[in-house]
Chains A and B, each alone.
Chain A
Amino acid sequence: MGATIVEKIFSRKCGSDIRAGEVVMTPIDGAMIHDITGPLAIQKFHEMGGEYVFDPKRVIMLFDHQIPADSLEAAKIHQYMRTFAAEQGIHNYDINEGVCHQVVLEKGRAAPGEIIVGADSHTCMYGAVGAFATGIGSTDMGFALKFGALYFKVPETIRVEVSGRFQKRVGAKDLILAIAADIGADGATYQAIEFTGKTIEKLDMAGRMTCCNMAIEMGAKAGIVPPDKVTWEYMKGRRKMKPFDLASDDDAKFAEKRTYNVADLEPQVAVPHNVDQGVPLSSVAGTHLDQVFIGSCTNGRYEDLKEAAEVLGKKKFHAGTRVLIIPASRNEYLKALENGLVERFVKAGALVEAPCCGPCMGGSFGLLAPGEVCLSTSNRNFKGRQGSTEAFVYLCSAATAAASAMKGEITDPRGV
């Protein structure tokens, strides 16, 4: 019996045959903490008798949720974590680099075959480079910081095979919203989702990140794309390593196999208040919008901003709609700046903010008042996620967000 890519990653790490369902104390290659879950993780690390972290070079620290410090409490949290980083010799990206998941990948801190944990649920995004990456809580992180290892129940894998060519202005976000609607908010709990097929092979890294990022929205422990030419090209200059083969065997035991064809896929929108409430855009076209947010670890990359700018052209955003655009990282911000996108967005009426999580964590800025409606390229539309529990958040792609921001209502980007 062959093995899944996830079973292979665990087996490689331990040098023995490890199969789904087994609980294994596994060494980790990296651990990421940020300004929301980090302080508690550090506290737990100390309570566990931790003095020095297992390997400061494998700990990734940065601040992205409440930056620049938006309250005295946030400032104190940042100060506490800075002190810890200095004491431990951990490189701290501080407030300078952007949203954690984007930064981890950009800086080459996750690589094919590695096992990475992050104290954030969207850590599963690193599966885009063929790593096994999963979100954990602060106590588990305290343990990981002390021992450089953690208990994992090795997950079974749902293999998703995608074929067909996207229509213009339809892409990875529409695909993953459709998959989430199909699998459901808990349809992949305790499982990994492997994305394969011709469409995925042709998908750029930005799109792969979008898909893996949202694996957690189906309850999955990890999302993963087997490393291929696109992956190894992305790793060049980020990590010195020789390409190697890493993929599920065809005779591996999968929990389930699902196939999708994107040829006829319409732009998708997830309606309030659950991520698995994805519907074809046409069924909610015309919905009035108070705010549009283009950004987040899910869709705040240069590729997203570029597509939004292409949809926008030389036109303006709707005067009655607040448009917030937040690049996912300093790197993506610079690309947008150098290519004239920031100027175009600002001239069109948008507010372009410095890289951070923005409204997506619902505790910093860009919040919604009761009754307001936001269309967002982020990953969650839970009640209260972006402010008032009486507000409404719809999720979509950057192309749909841009087209809709121009009209002040949910609009199909294919017609713009």
Chain B
Amino acid sequence: MIVDLYPQTKNMRVWKFGDNIDTDAIIPGRFLTINNPDELAKHAFEGTRDEFAKMVKDGDVVIGGKNFGCGSSREHAPLALLGGGVHVVLAKSFARIFFRNAINVGVLPVVCHDTDKIADGAKITLDLKKGYAEVDGKKLTIEPVPPFMQGIIDAGGLVEYARNLKEVPVCTKSRG
């Protein structure tokens, strides 16, 4: 359970990226024959930010601007981040497919409209339960995950949610 595993991320390094970070940048097409997160992580941001794969550490946090994870549906993108130890991405907004993929593989996409106030290399403390990020003494608000996605997170991810189900209740509505 991501939130329980990372109720509080303390003083972790920030890897700052800009707007429209696409999944080709996160993991280039030539590495898509790889499905293992640790192996994928060796090529994360290859060609666009080579030091990331070499220096990223468990618990580090990736920060984006708007439309993080746009482009291809490749789940290899959040897997490459996960393999590098990144469990949380903070961005002003996320591309739809990346958002779902990230939750499904165990990377938490968190919406924060103030990512401009976070510098690369800064130390960040996150309290997901209380809903804030703290950088250089500044508290920044983060948005809660939509309720139906929170249900999947609470189940321990979509695989866990689905594992023991024989069938699903079709045409039932959930809270958006």
Contact = CB atoms under 8 A, between A and B. Distances in A.
B77 to A, nearest CB: 9
Nearest to A143: B162
Interface in A24-39: 24-27, 36-37, 39
B47 A74 contact: no
A387 to B, nearest CB: 8
B16 to A, nearest CB: 17
Contacts of B125: none
A25 B169 contact: yes
B interface, how many residues as a size bin?
35 or more
A406 B100 CA distance: 44
Contact of A23 (B93, B96, B174): B174
Interface string A152-176: 0100000000000000000000000
A362 interface: yes
Contact of B67 (A25, A142, A185): A185
Interface string B163-176: 11101111111111
Which of B75, B76, B173 has the most chain A CB within a 10 Å cutoff? Answer: B75
Q: Majority SS of interface residues in chain B?
A: loop
A123 to B, nearest CB: 8
Interface stretch (B22-30, B80-88, B112-120): B22-30
B176 A23 contact: yes
A interface, how many residues as a size bin?
35 or more
A47 B163 contact: yes
Contact of B159 (A48, A135, A147): A48
Given A66-B33, A136-B73, A23 B164 contact: no
A186 interface: yes
Given A36-B74, A186-B70, 17 more contacts: A14-B170, A16-B171, A22-B173, A23-B148, A23-B173, A25-B172, A37-B73, A37-B75, A48-B163, A71-B33, A121-B73, A137-B101, A185-B70, A361-B29, A363-B31, A380-B72, A382-B25
Interface of A: 13-16, 18, 21-27, 36-37, 39-40, 43-44, 47-49, 65-66, 71, 73-74, 77, 119-121, 123, 135-140, 142-143, 146-147, 149, 151, 153, 185-186, 189-190, 219, 221, 274, 361-364, 380, 382-385, 388-390
